[in-house]
Amino acid sequence: MDKLHTSRFMDKQEKPRVWRWRILSSLMLVYDIVAIAFAWFAVLWARFDFRFSEIPADYFSAYRRFIIPYVAVTIFLLFVFRLYRSLWRYASMPELARLLVVSLLSSILHAVGITVLYGSGLQGGRMPLSYYFGGAILQLLLLGGVRFAYRLLRYELKQYFQRTEALGRVMLIGAGDAGQMILRDLSQVEKPEDKAVCIIDDDPSKWGRYLENVPVVGGRDDILLNVKKYHVNKIFLAIPSASEANKRDILGICSQTDCELKQLPGMYQFMTGEITVAAMKDVSVDDLLGREPIRADMQEVFDFIHGKRVLVTGGGGSIGSELCRQVAAHEPAELIIFDIYENNAYDIQLELKDKYPDLKLVTLIGSVRDSRRIFQVFDTYRPQVVYHAAAHKHVPLMEDSPCEAVKNNVIGTYKTAYAAMVHGCERFVLISTDKAVNPTNVMGTSKRLCEMIIQCFDAKIKAGKASEIPQLFTHLGEENADKDGTGRVFQNVKTEFVAVRFGNVLGSNGSVIGVFKKQIAKGGPVTVTHPDIIRYFMTIPEAVSLVMLAGTYAHGGEIFVLDMGRPVKIDTLARNLIKLAGFKPGVDIEIEYTGLRPGEKLYEEKLMAEEGLRKTDNKLIHIGSPIPFDHDAFLVELVALMSAAYSNKSDIRDRLMAMVPTYHPAVTDPAEPQKAVS
């Protein structure tokens, strides 16, 4: 019954369309008969100054007797070449080519036929030369004109008037092949929202010329002027082959406007022909970073990861999940995801199972603070490489809960590192932060302690004194490493411990970008702690590339540091985000300065003054030389710190200051007034 009902419904819909098509085809047939006959008569008439009485009787008689069979033959050819079955609203080169062939064939037949059949009765044995050539041309114009005029009236004019009412006035940057494809795509949308009004290109030879009827008005230095002149509210960057530096410079100029920015993703879309308005992506703050992106040689990573068992702690987080994606792509023997938050872990598990069905994947829930759980994981799966991403990272929250920062970041790192050491792990890579340098907050100090733990483990192992590293317990249990008391577990330990120091990561959980976007979506205000606060930024893929490269470069004890280029003012970042959303800072969306938060400083540093730099094979990755400290005294203090943290002692900050001499808690002025900026 459903099929019958559907069939009847389709019949009701289709029958009017079929009859409309038949009526149009019939009208076209009648027109063609009249047009063909008129074309040859009109040329003969024009030859004799549009005076019918001046046309010689033999010429007109030949025309009159020959035209009926000729029209029949031409109509037959039009049917043969399917010119009555074309969709003329979309008429283009194929239809024109077929029409040219029909006109050429029919005109030759006309010339030969009328001359052979009636030449003996004509003056000179033929019709006037203008009759042969003029008739052929006029017939083509009349047959083709009505067909392409249908497209013009039915489509182009309709589109023109719709485009004039389009909401978006687009400046296109790039007058090359990609730009032309974008312009054509804009013109072919049935109900366009955007209209291209001008084009920018740095090639002076294109200035003053037109592409798809849109003027090329100048180079990048003319962007701001022409945004005002043409009332532009959208800018499309269509130069897929441009270098990152060029794109960044152009987008930097564009960001000074209030226009919505979009760009083509890259050369892949150009090579595959995916150059459409829909393929364009929003320009993100990532595109405005003040440096070239990290270009890591991932072959080294592939060689290192391939065939190994890899554990990622905090594998459901923003950095941890990207690590899992990259590891999965490099064909490990097994990937173990470890996280305390089940929802994130489940999400990345589903994603990887779908993308890599042959991947041997294990997803485990647990805390790095739980000695027995960590030992169970290492004892069962024996990971060869560990990426330690599990940590509390929110500065203000850790200021309010300093003992939790110590328990999770410091003690969690220690327990995981110890389990890796006694279970034969080859590499242990700690994810650190630039906030560990001269820290002014508990979070940064806890990460500095993590770096010191890594350096301490490395020094003890290289000195053959792994047994002197105490195993920290909050409860004694079966996870005791030296169960038999022989110390054999500490012999031939070869684990290499390294740390990787990051700046702020764009798009990570808790990133300022996410906060700003939510505030903009609510209509503001956007809150910035201080007008002069600056931060180094990197993207998640860059961060993960650095982590994985650290695993390949490591020899033990290093702190890898990324050269992140120029720092970015958070105030500038907020303003760019507001502009990218299509609003005006201080007009549509207010910016408020709220004062530095507890533990926050105006700028972050990548290295402490005592640390030097050594180069690696990647010019943007450096190694900080370890700062010497008393490892034995540090380990004793660490045991006391753990006891104080688990007892929730109130003097935890004093203990941190004693263990990390560069830690100086930030003093913020709670009375600092808020300011709204226009």
From residue 600, how far is each of 131, 227, 397, 595, 604 by CA, in Å? 91, 39, 12, 10, 9
pLDDT over 60 at 40, yes or no: yes
Looking at the fold, whether 122 and 265 belong to one and the same domain comes out as no
Does residue 678 form part of some domain? Answer: no
Same-domain pairing of 157 and 32: yes
Identify the helix (H) or strand (E) that includes residue 337. strand 334-339
**Token pair in block for residue 631:** 């490892």
Same domain, 222 and 334: no
249 and 318 inside one domain: no
Task: Give the H/E segment covering residue 574.
Answer: helix 570-580
Q: Pick from 79, 133, 137: which is nearest to 103 by CA?
A: 137
Considering the domain boundaries, does residue 74 fall inside one? yes
Considering the domain architecture, whether residues 351 and 203 belong to the same structural domain is answered as no
Bridge partners (DSSP) listed for residue 538: 505
Looking at residues 341-346, what average pLDDT do you find?
Answer: 93
- Final residue belonging to a domain, choices 161, 180, 203: 161
Please tell me the predicted confidence (pLDDT) of residue 294. 60
Q: How confident is the model at residue 88 (pLDDT cuts 50, 70, 90)?
A: low
> Residues 235, 173: contact at Cβ < 8 Å?
yes
User: What's the first-to-final CA gap in the chain, in angstroms?
Assistant: 66
Give the per-residue pLDDT at 572.
Answer: 75
Q: Angle at Cα 603 formed by Cα 597 and Cα 604, nearest 5°?
A: 105
For 214-228, write each residue's pLDDT tens digit.
899 998 888 888 998
Give the angle subtended at the CA of 208 by the CAs of 203 and 214, to the nearest 5°: 100
Beta strands in 400-544 (DSSP E): 427-433, 496-502, 504-506, 526-528, 534-535, 537-539
Give buried/exposed letters for 540-559 (b at 16+ CB in 10 A, else e).
Answer: bbbbbbbbbbbbbbbebbbb
Does residue 501 contact residue 560 with C-beta atoms inside 8 Å? yes
Helix, strand or coil for residue 326?
Answer: helix
Instruction: Write the DSSP symbol of residue 332.
Output: -
207: in domain: yes
Average pLDDT over residues 447-451: 94
Contacts of 396 (CB under 8 A, 6+ apart): 597, 598, 599, 600
* Domain harbouring 275, CATH code: 3.40.50.720
pLDDT over 60 (residue 296):
yes
Domain boundary among 123, 145, 161: 161
DSSP letter string over 457-499?
Answer: HHHHHHTT-GGGSPPP-SS--TT-S-TTSS-GGGTT---EEEE
* Overall number of domains in the chain: 3
Do the domain assignments include residue 63? yes
Give the SS3 label for residue 169.
strand
Q: What is the mean pLDDT of residues 75-80?
A: 87
Sequence-distant (6+) residues with CB within 8 A of 581 are 517, 520, 589
Are 496 and 627 in the same domain? Answer: yes
Q: Are 559 and 451 in contact (CB under 8 A)?
A: yes
User: Domain for residue 123, yes or no?
Assistant: yes
Cβ pair 276, 301 in contact under 8 A: no
- The verdict on 176 and 157 lying in the same domain is no
Residues 500 and 636 in one domain: yes
HEC profile for 52-75? HHHCCHHHHHHHHHHHHHHHHHHH
What was the pLDDT predicted at 266? Answer: 43
- E strand or H helix that includes residue 365: strand 361-365
* % of the chain surpassing 70 pLDDT: 77
pLDDT tens-digit map of 370-387: 989 999 999 999 999 999
Q: Are 155 and 91 in contact (CB under 8 A)?
A: no
Residues 411 and 467 placed together within one structural domain of the fold: yes
Tokens of 413: 């790192």
In this structure, what token pair is assigned to residue 353? 């199972």
Single-letter residue type at 658: A
Q: Please report which confidence band the pLDDT of residue 275 belongs to, taking 50, 70 and 90 as the band edges.
A: very low
Select from 589, 629, 595, 596 the least CA-distant residue to 611.
Answer: 629
Structure confidence at residue 150 (pLDDT): 63
Higher pLDDT, 296 or 482: 482
Residue 483 sits in the same domain as residue 432:
yes
Instruction: Report the distance separating Cα 191 and Cα 115, nearest Å.
Output: 53
Q: Rounded to whole angstroms, how far apart are CA atoms 103 and 106?
A: 5
Shared domain for 154 and 188, answered yes or no, is no
Specify whether the backbone of 541 is left (phi greater than 0), alpha (psi in -120 to 50) or beta.
alpha
Specify the higher pLDDT residue, 295 or 148.
148
Query: What percentage of the chain exceeds 90 in pLDDT?
Result: 29
| Distance separating alpha carbons of residues 217 and 230, to the nearest angstrom | 10
Contacts of 49 (CB under 8 A, 6+ apart): none
Tell me which residue range forms the domain holding 385.
303-505+537-565+612-659
Can you give the pLDDT at residue 224?
Answer: 87
193 touches 234 (CB < 8 A): no
pLDDT for the residue numbered 670: 38
Q: Which amino acid is at 481?
A: A
Please report whether residue 522 resides in a domain: no
Mean pLDDT of the region 585-597: 81
Question: CB neighbours of 166 closer than 8 A, spacing ≥ 6?
Answer: 192, 193, 194, 195
CA pair distance 246, 225, nearest whole angstrom: 20
Q: CA 282, CA 580: separation in Å to the nearest integer?
A: 8
**172 and 152 part of one domain:** no
Q: Is 411 a residue whose pLDDT tops 90?
A: yes
Residue with tokens 């299509």: 582
Per mean pLDDT, which of 246-255, 418-427, 478-487 is the most reliable?
A: 418-427
Structure tokens of 276?
């459409």
Q: How confident is the model at residue 672 (pLDDT cuts 50, 70, 90)?
A: very low
Residue 113 falls inside a structural domain: yes
Looking at the domain assignment, is residue 591 inside a domain?
no
Question: What's the whole-model pTM score?
Answer: 0.61
Q: Residue 642: which pLDDT band, with cuts at 50, 70 and 90?
A: very high
The two structure tokens encoding residue 623: 């190694």
Encoding tokens for residue 580?
């990218």
Domain end among 130, 161, 192? 161
Look-up of token digits 């920018």: 200
Name 335's bridge partners. Answer: 310, 361
| Rg of the chain over all Cα atoms, to the nearest angstrom | 38
